[in-house]
Chain A
Amino acid sequence: MSIDLPNDSAILTVQNLSKSFGGVKAVNNLSFSVLQNNIHAIIGPNGAGKSTLFNLITGVIKPDMGNVQFLNQDITSLRPDKIAQHGVSRTFQNIRLFPDMTVFETVLIGTYQFTGGNLLPALFRTKTFRNKESEAKERIEETLKFVGLWDVRNEYAAQLSYGNQRRVEIARALATNPHLLLLDEPTAGMNQKETKELMNLFSEVNHQGITILIIAHDMHLVNSLSNQITVINFGEKLAEGPPELIQNHPAVLEAYMGRAEAHA
């Protein structure tokens, strides 16, 4: 899991990224870097292009211009599965679980690149195959205990509480053994207690050496959790810096509070 990079070098670099849908510029000439071991937050009003940015980074949609570098490799034109294999994993804004799978089975999907999709070893149940399978299952046990879902491992993931479904998604993403974890509004729709518990989980994940890029609305969460914030609006970068700087940044205040003040 550890990579031979100094602690402050960039793990992900986005350069001049642009994507338009029809006439709408969802992401417009956006550049920023995520530093190794940071918890980097992306904030911005609704429709600012945050989720589009995630989809561009993970290869779900292709950019019109610009590129994405991950660990000094260009991943711009790669398929989502290839990008995942490079060590970028994600959760979705609208939770996407596998409806017919238990918690354990769902998280096991994340180990695909280690158990492999090869057919012959599976058909002959070779020793390597069996070892890899049991290794994967041990790792899942670890991951599930880590996120606190071991007790509900045999329940259908889709039948869990909203908060726990989110944990399943995070566990599944962790099972791919990522260097970088993208979280798309992970605390949306959660109460304060759930939000706090999840925040603790994110810090623990980060302590394991996994860099986190998180989209969030909750300013309190962003300020206390992240050490770098990029603010975007209308697909463009508005401001960037550590939380204390962003909190008082005039452009940010205008984008967020300005309208609120005007309405008040």
Chain B
Amino acid sequence: MIQTNKTVYRKFLLILGVIALFFLPLAVTNPYVMYVINLILIYTLLALGLDLIVGYTGQVSVGHGAFFGIGAYVAAILSKNLGFSFWVNLPLSIIVTALIGFIIGFIGLKLIEEYLVMATLAFGTIIWLVFLNWTDLTGGPMGIAGIASPPPIKIGTFEFVFFQYQDYYPLLLLFVFLGILVTRLIIRSGFGRACTAIRDDELAAQSMGIPVFKTKVMMFTISAAFCGAAGALYAHFLRVVSPETFTFSMSVTILTMVMIGGQGSIAGAVIGASILTVSSEVLRETPELRMIIYGFLIVVMIMFFPKGMMGLFQLVKRRLQKRTLQAAETTPEKEGLSYEH
């Protein structure tokens, strides 16, 4: 009984926390801070998406910055050239990115490990060159500016506008929660378990009846779709897209988020995105130093904490639990007296 009460209590706290998060703009008045928080949310979606293929399926991609870019450019082009609103562009961006993700996955996932890394690297570079040089469509080095904000939503007398950073924040938060929900639903299904099995031992997974290639391609497609969604949200948030955002270093940044936060962990994606977004804002003046620090961090994480910050937390938690368990064993008379709630 105590146990169920406790989980109900936890759920209640969680829901309260989620609702409270939506009211964050009331507490944060500095627009720059709000801007950085919004960036964190966009990066969280990217990290969640990349983690699906890297953390849960064990296939490393260093080309996901390109999917982010494709999502952003599709939204920008549709908005600028055809005057489509955000609500149309978002699903279209997701579909186009997923489609390209499917094609790249279908070609690239026939390769293994380092060859897949090279293939995604090449793909990322090609897409970046397309952004940079297809001036008629992408605006070349100048990019595309003046992308419309999402049109307001009217519910009764309330009107939700998405013009300023604090207005855009709840929208992003909603999509991050949606992303977390979808991730959870995927990983807690036969399909998600199949991906984890492939990550851990491909031959054993296949011998259990799992179609390895098909499963990988499906997950790669979903992973790209996440980045496409993040791209559309990014384009309508900043209202300008330009090629220098979607370089190789973007792909590496997303990968670093996953590595530092902890592969195969939703909380890890959130933590990784937060740490890296804040640090890259802090190091804004010295971008060359940034890549050195990221490289160093990846090496340190792989060597000492292969499961990232979440792995570290879990280790500490397990140690603490062990200690309290030992403490409880040495003082058994207290056990009957203390109960919660």
Complex Cα gap A175–B193 (Å)? 14
Decide if A172 touches B208 in the complex (CB within 8 Å): yes
Q: Choose one: B191, B197, B201, B204; the contact of A122 (CB below 8 Å).
A: B191
Partner among A84, A118, A133, A136 whose Cβ is within 8 Å of the Cβ of B209? A84
- The reply to whether the CB of B196 lies closer than 8 angstroms to some CB of chain A is yes
Q: Are B186 and A79 in contact (CB under 8 A)?
A: no
| Interface presence of A60 (CB below 8 A) | yes
Contacts of A136 in B (CB 8 A): 190
A99 contacts the other chain (Cβ, under 8 Å)?
Answer: yes
Q: Do A98 and B200 have beta carbons less than 8 Å apart?
A: yes
A236 and B185 alpha carbons, distance in the complex (Å): 50
**Which residues of chain B are within 8 angstroms of A118 by Cβ–Cβ distance?**
190-191
Q: Which stretch of A5-13, A30-38, A68-76, A88-96 is in the interface?
A: A88-96
A92-B204 in contact (CB<8A):
yes
What residues on B are CB-neighbors of A79 within 8 Å?
A: 206, 211
Q: Is the interface of B mostly helix, strand, loop or mixed?
A: helix
Please state if B186 and A80 are interface contacts (CB–CB under 8 Å). no
Residues 171-204 (chain A) with a chain B CB within 8 angstroms: 172-173, 175-176
Do residues A112 and B194 form an inter-chain contact, with CB atoms below 8 A?
Answer: yes
Which residues A110-143 have CB closer than 8 A to chain B? 110-113, 115-119, 122-123, 125, 129, 132-133, 136
Supposing A109-B210, A117-B211, A122-B185 touch, asked if A100 and B200 sit within 8 A by C-beta, the answer is yes
Q: How far is the CA of A101 from the CA of B264 in the complex (A)?
A: 12
- Type the 1/0 row for B9-46, where 1 means its CB is closer than 8 Å to any CB of A: 00000000000000000000000000000000000000
Does B200 lie within 8 Å of A80, measured CB to CB? no
A240 contacts partner chain B, Cβ-Cβ < 8 Å: no
CB distance from A166 to the nearest CB of B (A): 14
CA distance A58 to B204 in the complex (A): 11
Interface residues of B in 192-236 (CB under 8 A from A): 192-194, 196-197, 199-201, 203-212, 214-215, 218, 222
Q: Is A97 an interface residue (CB 8 A)?
A: yes
Tier of interface size on chain B: 20 to 34
| Residue A41, interface by CB 8 Å | no
| Cβ-closest chain B residue relative to A122 | B189
Closest residue to B264 on the A side, CB-wise? A100
Known A81-B209, A112-B209, A113-B209; judge A123-B185 contact (CB<8 A).
yes
Closest B-chain residue to A121, C-beta based? B189
Closest residue of chain B to A123 (Cβ to Cβ) is B185
Contact between A84 and B208, CB atoms less than 8 A apart: yes
**Cβ contacts under 8 Å, B194 to chain A:** 109, 112, 117
Which residue numbers of A lie inside 8 Å of B, CB to CB? Answer: 58, 60, 79-81, 84-85, 89-90, 92, 96-101, 105, 108-113, 115-119, 122-123, 125, 129, 132-133, 136, 172-173, 175-176
In addition to A81-B206, A122-B186, 13 A-B residue pairs with Cβ atoms within 8 Å of each other are A60-B207, A80-B203, A81-B209, A81-B211, A84-B208, A89-B207, A92-B203, A98-B205, A112-B208, A117-B194, A117-B214, A122-B191, A176-B208
A-B pairs, top 4 by smallest CB distance, nearest first, are: A122-B189, A115-B190, A98-B200, A84-B209
